[in-house]
Amino acid sequence: MKCTYCGHSEDKVVDSRATAEETAIRRRRECLKCGKRFTTYEYIEEVALMVIKKDGRRQPFDRKKILAGIIKACEKRPVSMDAMEEMVVQVERTIQKKSDREVPSPRIGEIVMGKLKSLDEVAYVRFASVYRQFKDVSQFMSELKGIVGTQKQKSSHPRRG
C-alpha cells in the first residue's frame, strides 16, 4: 500500500475495525517514512454490478462516482469523510441486496438521496437539485417545502417515553 502523502510503500496498521454494517474493514495506517496516517478500506469482491444509464447504456458500477457526488453535496457541511464513506458502503450494500446484476441509475440516485436526507438536509437538497435536474426555482422550492413539512410533522408529534 503506497502512502497517500509521500508514495512510500511500507506502512504499519495502527487500527483495524469493521465498518458499522460489517461490509468492509477500515484500517488506519502509518507511513514508515513520513509518519503520516491514512485510511484504507478492504471489501469483499462481489459479482460485477452493471448500471443501466437513462439512455440505455450499461456501465460497471463505480463506487468512486457515488462518493464524488456525496462529497460535492456535503461540501462545507459538518459531515465527516468517514460518514460519507460509510454512506457509500450502505448504498452499495442496498443495491446488491435489491438487484440481480443490473440496476437503473435512477434507483441509485434515490437510494443516495434517502441516505443524505437523514444525514444532512442541505446536502440532500444540493444532491437532489443536480440529480433531479431542477429546471427552475419553483421545483427547488417545492423540494424545500417537502423538507419543512416533514420537520413540522416531527416537531408536532413529541416522543413518548
Residue keyed to cell 462529497: 71
pLDDT, tens digit (0-9, with 9 covering 90-100), for 107-154: 999 999 999 988 998 898 888 877 776 666 676 677 667 666 665 555
pLDDT at 97: 84
Over the stretch 28-50, which tens digit does the pLDDT of each residue have? 999 999 999 999 998 876 667 89
pLDDT at position 48 is 77
List alpha helices for the chain, DSSP H.
63-73, 81-98, 105-119, 121-131, 137-156
- What sign does the dihedral 111-112-118-124 (CA atoms) show? negative
Calculate the average pLDDT of the chain. Answer: 84
Please check the confidence at residue 84 and state whether its pLDDT lies above 80: yes
More reliable by pLDDT, 128 or 9 = 9
> Other C-beta atoms within 10 Å of 122: how many?
16
Tell me the pLDDT band of 161, cut-offs 50, 70 and 90: very low
Task: List the one residue out of 43, 30, 42, 41 whose CA is nearest residue 4.
Answer: 30
